[in-house]
Amino acid sequence: MQKRKLGKSGLEVSALGFGCMGMSFGYGPPKDKQEMIELLRSAVERGVTFFDTAEVYGPFTNEELVGEALSPFRGQVVIATKFGFKLDPATGKQVGLDSRPEHIREVAEASLKRLKVDVIDLFYQHRVDPDVPIEDVAGAVKDLIREGKVKHFGLSEAGVQTIRRTHAVQPVTAVQSEYSLWWRKPEEELLPTLEELGIGFVPFGPLGKGFLTGKIDENTTFDSSDFRNVIPRFTPEARKANQAMIALLSRVAKRKKATPAQIALAWLLARKPWIVPIPGTTKPERLEENIGAVSMELTPEDLREIESASSKITVQGARYPEHLEKLTGR
């Protein structure tokens, strides 16, 4: 497995990470815990060293799963987790944002226990909290770094002005946002800013929440607890219209003796050497497929073809419903 450094921070991780959310949350009912532990451990055996979780995934159960699965590999892997949501103590449901310094500290202490670690490798603010100055957030994480409870600070779905203000108080190691062939907005402002500041980029949803695998069409049905049911881009009409992107990926994949998912990941890896996508999966064969993308070489001609063909495709449907879109880019 190739390694990459996230910006100028010196944090070295596998070129492809692993997004763990879907094992416990978001994509239908939680999967069998023992099977997921085995899958995470087999990912480590295949060279994956970068794992992404958050307290809200579950809530809490995903961190516990990751902590148990990766405990034999302490010191060999990098675990990223997140703070910043307010959870209802009774139900565990998200009921808003909370990045007050005292809350950040509470979340850090609880995450350390669930992850079974002495230090959090990478601690992201999950969403920017407009009620707490970002300088206070950065200061709180800076204190945790000074105390040896956190190693690196990250931001998720933050706007470029927020990133600059944060970075001035406490250097930001990585920014995480959605980025893929069907969501390219980060190219406008975000990627140039990260390059300028020397910050790594961690795209989540690199396979378009499963769509870019080519396994989803207008007839696919999702479990009632699958959050894709509320995403405008996943209405049957949008899924039908967006097959044009799958046709493009399939055409390149056929020529390269690969799969559409591998082309989508290889395209992201070819964008910048400081980009580390974190596809998630719950299936061993998909893990193998994703890892296969790292050694795939897209030639300049391949990349030009993808660029030219994708520029003629207008992806249908918003990537989030309006109430979730409001939480991004602040």
Query: Is-contact 179 157, C-beta < 8 A?
Result: no
What pLDDT was estimated at residue 92? 86
Nearest 5 degrees, angle CA 119-CA 123-CA 125? 155
CB burial of 46-73 (b: ≥16 within 10 Å; e: otherwise) equals eebbbbbbbbbbbbbbbbbbbbbbbeee
Residue 251 counted as domain residue: no
The CATH number given to whatever domain includes residue 69 is: 3.20.20.100
Q: Which residues are catalytic?
A: 57
Share the mean pLDDT of the chain. Answer: 97
Give the 3-state secondary structure of residue 279. coil
Q: Distance between CA 251 and CA 245 in Å, rounded?
A: 10
What pLDDT was estimated at residue 71? 98
Report the domain count for the chain. 1
Residue 158 counted as domain residue: yes
- Hey, what are 130's tokens? 């407009």
Residue 39 counted as domain residue: yes
Q: Distance between CA 99 and CA 86 in Å, rounded?
A: 8
Residue 79 counted as domain residue: yes
Residue 322 counted as domain residue: no
Domain that holds residue 280: 3-206+272-295
Residue 228 counted as domain residue: no
Residue 267 counted as domain residue: no
What pLDDT was estimated at residue 74? 94
**Mean pLDDT by 10-residue block, N- to C-terminus, for the chain (330 residues)?**
96 98 96 98 98 97 98 97 95 93 98 98 98 98 98 98 98 98 97 98 98 97 96 97 97 97 98 98 98 97 97 96 94
Q: Distance between CA 205 and CA 47 in Å, rounded?
A: 21
Per-residue pLDDT tens for 278-297? 999 999 999 999 999 999 99
Q: Distance between CA 212 and CA 260 in Å, rounded?
A: 7
Nearest 5 degrees, angle CA 197-CA 129-CA 228? 95
Query: Is-contact 256 264, C-beta < 8 A?
Result: no
What pLDDT was estimated at residue 90? 86
Q: What are the distances in angstroms from CA 177 to CA 126, 205, 220, 300?
A: 10, 8, 26, 26
Q: Distance between CA 139 and CA 117 in Å, rounded?
A: 22
Per-residue pLDDT tens for 84-96? 999 998 888 899 9
Q: Distance between CA 315 and CA 330 in Å, rounded?
A: 24
Give the 3-state secondary structure of residue 277. coil
Q: What are the distances in angstroms from CA 15 to CA 2, 151, 154, 244, 260?
A: 6, 20, 18, 28, 19
